[in-house]
Amino acid sequence: TEIEALCKLDYRERAVSIMGKYLDEFSQEELRAFVRDAYSNNYDCAEIAPTKFLNDNTGVLELWHGPTCAFKDMALQMLPRLLTASLKKLGETRKVCILVATSGDTGKAALEGFADVEGTSIVVFYPRDGVSDVQKLQMTTQRGENVFVSAVEGNFDDAQTGVKMIFSDRDFAKKLDEKGIFLSSANSINWGRLLPQVVYYFSAYCDYVNSGKIKMGDEIDFCVPTGNFGDILAGWYAKKMGLPVRRLICASNRNNVLTDFINTGVYDRNREFFATISPSMDILVSSNLERLLFMLSDDASVKGWMDELKTVGKYDVGAKVLKDIQADFDGGFTSDEQAKVCINELFKSSGYLMDTHTADAYAVLADLRKAGESFPTVIVSTASPYKFADSVLEAFGEDSAKSGAELVSKLSAVTGTTAPTPLTGLDSREVRFKGCSAKEEMPEVVLEFLK
Ligand SMILES: *Cc1c(COP(=O)(O)O)cnc(C)c1O
């Protein structure tokens, strides 16, 4: 079968093969060149996205060996190559400005992906109170002539709303057009971002087969730490493309709006927002869910639900769509306390160190296992533990009241593990971006940068 053929390839060739099926506008040679650039020595391991096995029925797919130490590199190292190549093919003469609202990891990954890419510029807004110290330093020390970074007062949803307002502002678009610039997003709903993510689901399956722990054709589960529903949506596409997946387990933190949705069919954002130790999943409006609903329903219904989400903050997809969702998805959530216990216990029992987001997925899976589940499952590991060193140190009962750079060296000392190079020496880099703006000021900030 085609999957058997993939098993014999390395990660890069798996990517060429899978992306080639869905991107007709590029030749194999072009794709191979993009893949070679996107996944090369900017990754700190030759396997790019290795699957490590904790036991026969639990694998951990590590997606954080790239330049920013989180899974978003998998897509955002590829996206600028696909985007600029396809703009060239379309004969676009204007420059593209990428506008991003980030809960932390997207922003840095997009900055790394687009830094000094010809014909592009990038502006990133992050919530002042919603990213870790390490994440903030990673962004504010970003190199590149075409990049700009600003904090926004409020949480991720505020930053996201501000960006959405800019995207829907016609006058703003006109002003940019006069300068020969147009806006594009790197956030979520972008095939050039989803497709590179589909690749690693296939790749993890191949790794599982190659390990000898399952046979070709056997189904597996994936347990995915989720906030914006982008990563897990790629898993759903992989399943629809024919990957033997039984179900996708959507793991949330205390902001469990998606768990409730998967269990009841009611999406209700009218609830308290919690800042957790897995900040990249602190989201109440999961943008990519809309795309799943489009696939399972019709345009008019989805439009109605999205309107209700805007006006009353809540919608109900009804029994039929719920049944389809539950055929592919299961959901669970966990607490900060439980996630920390998992980090601590797993490290002590096996020496495997995981970050807080991965720990949410691990904890949700552990609950299912306590209830008697033993199905072969791949936990999708989305960040290096060093990226969230403060909370990981707390899991070991260590003091976390230190600067980001100190935390990184301390975690290394406490666990006897090595910090990834991109996260060392953060304190010796120049902080280039110190500003913070209110939501209303965001358009001006962008214009000022593009002046
Ligand atoms: C973005 C992110 C997530 C959530 O992924 P979504 O696809 O947005 O749901 C989880 N963990 C980490 C470390 C992330 O950066």
pLDDT in tens, 287-298: 899 999 999 999
**pLDDT beyond 90 at 75:** yes
Helix, strand, coil abundance in the chain, percent, nearest 5 = 50, 15, 35
**pLDDT beyond 70 at 187:** no
Which of 309, 306, 386 lies closest to 354, judged by CA?
386
Q: 85 alpha carbon to ligand 1 midpoint, in Å?
A: 27
**pLDDT beyond 90 at 400:** no
- Taking all residues of the chain, what is their mean pLDDT, rounded to a whole number? 95
**pLDDT beyond 70 at 413:** yes
Q: Which atom of ligand 1 is nearest to the CA of 231?
A: 7
pLDDT band at residue 425 under the 50/70/90 scheme: confident
Angle ∠(245,367,276) on CA atoms, nearest 5: 100
Burial of residue 252 (CB within 10 Å: 0-12, 13-18, 19+) is buried
Q: 237 alpha carbon to ligand 1 midpoint, in Å?
A: 17
Q: Which residue out of 259, 382, 386, 391 has the highest number of ligand 1 atoms within 8 Å of its CB and is therefore the one to mutate?
A: 382
On whether the CB atoms of residues 34 and 352 are closer than 8 A, the answer is: no
CB 228 less than 6 A from any atom of ligand 1: yes
pLDDT in tens, 49-65: 999 999 999 999 999 99
Higher-confidence residue of 189 and 229: namely 229
**pLDDT beyond 90 at 1:** no
pLDDT band at residue 189 under the 50/70/90 scheme: low
Q: So what's the pLDDT on residue 218?
A: 98
Q: Of the residues 8, 21, 52, 72, which is catalytic?
A: 72
The residue written with tokens 């607490």 in the block is 335
Q: 91 alpha carbon to ligand 1 midpoint, in Å?
A: 34
What is the residue-wise DSSP string for 64-96? --STTSBTHHHHHTTHHHHHHHHHHHTT--SEE
pLDDT band at residue 105 under the 50/70/90 scheme: confident
**pLDDT beyond 80 at 103:** no
Q: 436 alpha carbon to ligand 1 midpoint, in Å?
A: 24
**pLDDT beyond 80 at 196:** yes
pLDDT band at residue 34 under the 50/70/90 scheme: very high
The side-by-side arrangement of strands in the sheet containing 377-381 is: 51-55, 58-62, 377-381, 220-225, 245-252, 329-333
**pLDDT beyond 90 at 341:** yes
pLDDT (mean) for 61-75: 96
CB 70 less than 6 A from any atom of ligand 1: yes
CB 160 less than 6 A from any atom of ligand 1: no
Q: So what's the pLDDT on residue 314?
A: 97
Say how far apart CA 61 and CA 434 lie, in whole Å.
Answer: 35
How many CB atoms are located within 10 Å of the residue 344 CB?
16
On whether the CB atoms of residues 221 and 235 are closer than 8 A, the answer is: no
350: three-class secondary structure by DSSP:
helix
pLDDT (mean) for 112-129: 94
Q: Which atom of ligand 1 is nearest to the CA of 355?
A: 13
CB 384 less than 6 A from any atom of ligand 1: no
On whether the CB atoms of residues 195 and 81 are closer than 8 A, the answer is: no
| 402 counts as catalytic | no
pLDDT band at residue 188 under the 50/70/90 scheme: low
- Partners of 237 in beta bridges: none
CB 101 less than 6 A from any atom of ligand 1: no
Say how far apart CA 208 and CA 178 lie, in whole Å.
Answer: 53
pLDDT band at residue 135 under the 50/70/90 scheme: confident
pLDDT in tens, 277-333: 998 898 898 989 999 999 999 999 999 999 999 999 999 999 999 999 999 999 999
Protein residue with least CA distance to atom 15, ligand 1: 105
Higher-confidence residue of 90 and 353: namely 353
Q: So what's the pLDDT on residue 97?
A: 96
Joined together, the tokens standing for residue 100 give 């991003």
High-pLDDT (> 70) share of the chain, %: 99
